[in-house]
Amino acid sequence: MTVVFALRGVQARLGTRRPVAALRDIDLCVRAGERVALVGANGSGKSTLLRVLMGLVPVQGHLERADVRAAMVFQRPYLMRLSARHNVAVALWVQGRRWSQACAAAREALARVGLVALADRPARALSGGQQQRLALARAWAQRPDVWLLDEPTASLDPQARQEVEALIAAFAAETGATVVFSSHHLGQVRRLATRVVYLDGGRIAADLPVEAFFDLGRLAQASPSAHAFVREELPWVG
């Protein structure tokens, strides 16, 4: 399978006055079609790693990115002071599509995420779940090979979370796209991921197939800190 991202000994330092080592010695190889969950405590480096994969953060070390179309969706998506459909259409237009084509593609993308009825509403007046679906529509309209999703369902209620999660699962299943996402919801990780990367203090402390990650006996052997994290989150498991 094609290697989409290959990182060896990657370090990322953030901040100017007092730089923080946000990522240390990251070795990671992501292949096409994998769905990789990034988990770990607040500040462990999940968002930074996603930004590194998107090419938004300069790093030291070795980083190879295949020539793929990547789309990133943030926890709080940036939406312009425009209607929902114009948020999608403008994103396509700035990438070189003709305006009429961009508008048609925006309509199709909004239909895909169930937002057609709200197409003319100001994007910033939509609910959190609707805004996240709009951000997914905007990304989907670009037909990415790689989805980078930073806590895509954080701060959504359970129903909105399910809707967004179902869309991500459907996009991945339809296109076989590679997905790298961060999440604090271990249930979601179990449902969506094929592989789990656990970060601790900017380092990868465990990198396991999803079944192995949720097998607490194996997880304890692979990484005591990952094991303690899962036990804390899911005290009723094993």
Ligand X SMILES: Nc1ncnc2c1ncn2[C@@H]1O[C@H](COP(=O)(O)OP(=O)(O)OP(=O)(O)O)[C@@H](O)[C@H]1O
Considering the complex, what minimum distance in angstroms separates the CB of residue 101 from ligand X? 36
CA distances to 55, 214, 222, 230 from 21, in Å = 17, 29, 24, 25
CB 122 within 8 A of CB 115: no
When the beta carbons of 75 and 175 are compared against ligand X, the nearer one is 75
The tokens for 5 are 């991202």
CA-closest candidate to residue 46, choices 38, 58, 54? 38
Considering the complex, what minimum distance in angstroms separates the CB of residue 150 from ligand X? 7
H/E element holding 226? helix 224-233
CA-closest candidate to residue 87, choices 113, 117, 119, 112? 119
Q: Which residue of 1, 15, 17, 236 would you call a contact of ligand X, by CB under 6 A?
A: 15
When the beta carbons of 2 and 155 are compared against ligand X, the nearer one is 155
DSSP 87-153: HHHHHHHHTT--HHHHHHHHHHHHHHTT-GGGTTSBGGGS-HHHHHHHHHHHHHTT--SEEEEESTT
DSSP state of 83: B
Considering the complex, what minimum distance in angstroms separates the CB of residue 230 from ligand X? 16
Considering the complex, what minimum distance in angstroms separates the CB of residue 44 from ligand X? 4
Using CB under 6 A, which of the segments 45-53, 110-118, 169-177, 219-227 binds ligand X?
45-53
Q: Tell me the site size for ligand X, rule CB under 6 A.
A: 12
Considering the complex, what minimum distance in angstroms separates the CB of residue 122 from ligand X? 27
Distance, in Å, from the CA atom of 185 to the CA atom of 99, rounded to the nearest integer, reads 39
Does 48 bind ligand X (CB under 6 A)? Our answer is yes
Does 22 bind ligand X (CB under 6 A)? Our answer is yes
Closest residue by beta carbon to ligand X? 15
Q: Which residue of 42, 81, 96, 159 would you call a contact of ligand X, by CB under 6 A?
A: 42
Q: Which residue of 24, 27, 47, 142 would you call a contact of ligand X, by CB under 6 A?
A: 47
Does 20 bind ligand X (CB under 6 A)? Our answer is yes
The site for ligand X (CB under 6 A) is made up of 14-15, 20, 22, 40, 42-48
